[in-house]
Amino acid sequence: RHGIRIAIDGPSGAGKSTIAKRVAARLGFDYIDTGAMYRSIGLKMARSGFFGEDGMHGGAVDPSREIDPDRLSSVLAETEIDFREGKVYLDGEDVESEIRNSEISKAASACAQIGIVREKLVDIQREIGSRKNVVMDGRDIGTNVFRDAEYKFFLTAAPEERAKRRFLELKEKGQDVVYEDILKDVEERDYRDTHRELNPLRKAEDAVEIDSTHMTIEEVVDEICSRVTI
């Protein structure tokens, strides 16, 4: 037995987390942000110096650095990720505000290519879905984590629109950002996410695709909720 699982996958900046959060609130489900889990591991790896000395102090992350698998394995064994009230905790610490920047985006996308990282996080995700009704967003929820999810959605939007949304979001937070840099980041991340060997981003055959380029958040939430019966 398990809860009702709603999987929402798609590329970065398609609005998954905003939409998944609202769908969860409307249906009374738990919202699980799997990207935040990869970001938290990325943060821990950056702090541990896996992406270069600089990454340790919140400086530049070099995602192409060679990773020592034995050292990573022992760091992961001592790493705890959990969710409380929709927020991710890394070893008991609320890291929400530290994981939303472009260096940690890079670190997350790099660590998401590593098998032992994915195994650990997928186990946690399945465990959460086994006891609760969840809306889970990510890249591989419908294709891997919950292949038998009750509902699957694939949310997309044009890269320029996604970059624009991310730009406005970071700007709102007072970060000093340049649109062209963000578009480049979006395109690079799309490339890495769709071309990686392990559970690459793709639409599950039985997922409903929603292109949100010309839709408002409310319209997308309505569209998803109208398809779910609880």
User: Between residues 112 and 124, which has the closer beta carbon with respect to ligand C5P?
Assistant: 112
39 binds ligand C5P (CB under 6 A): yes
Q: Compute CA distances 127 → 4, 114, 213, whole Å.
A: 13, 20, 33
189 binds ligand C5P (CB under 6 A): yes
Tell me how far, at minimum, the Cβ of 202 lies from ligand C5P, in Å. Answer: 12
Instruction: Please identify which residue in 12, 40, 101, 212 interacts with ligand C5P, judged by CB under 6 A.
Output: 12
Distance CA 182, CA 160 (A): 9
Angle at which helices 34-47 and 115-129 cross, to 10°: 140
* Long-range Cβ contacts of 87-90 (<8 Å, 24+ apart): 88/33, 88/36, 88/37, 88/39, 88/40, 90/40, 90/43, 90/44
216 is in an annotated binding site: no
Cα distance between the two ends of the chain: 16
Residue among 13, 11, 8 nearest 31 (CA): 8
58 is in an annotated binding site: no
Binding mask of the shown chain, residues 43 to 82, with x at each position contacting ligand C5P by CB under 6 A: ----------------------------------------
Residue among 118, 20, 17 nearest 72 (CA): 118
110 is in an annotated binding site: no
Q: Compute CA distances 44 → 15, 32, 37, 75, whole Å.
A: 25, 19, 11, 9
User: Between residues 175 and 230, which has the closer beta carbon with respect to ligand C5P?
Assistant: 175
Binding mask of the shown chain, residues 89 to 108, with x at each position contacting ligand C5P by CB under 6 A: -------------------x
Task: For residue 180, give both structure tokens.
Answer: 């062209």
35 binds ligand C5P (CB under 6 A): yes
Q: Write down how long the chain is.
A: 230
User: Between residues 6 and 112, which has the closer beta carbon with respect to ligand C5P?
Assistant: 112
Taking contact as CB under 6 A, which single stretch among the options 34-42, 43-51, 126-134, 209-217 is the one that binds ligand C5P? Answer: 34-42
Distance CA 128, CA 226 (A): 25
- Please name the helix (run of DSSP H) or strand (run of DSSP E) that holds residue 20, with its range, or none: helix 16-27
User: Between residues 35 and 221, which has the closer beta carbon with respect to ligand C5P?
Assistant: 35
Q: For the segment 124-183, give every residue that binds ligand C5P (CB under 6 A).
A: 138-140
Any bridge partners for residue 158, and if so which?
none
Instruction: Please identify which residue in 20, 32, 76, 112 interacts with ligand C5P, judged by CB under 6 A.
Output: 112
User: Between residues 28 and 143, which has the closer beta carbon with respect to ligand C5P?
Assistant: 143
**Contact residues for ligand C5P (CB under 6 A)?**
12, 34-35, 38-39, 108-109, 112, 138-140, 189, 193
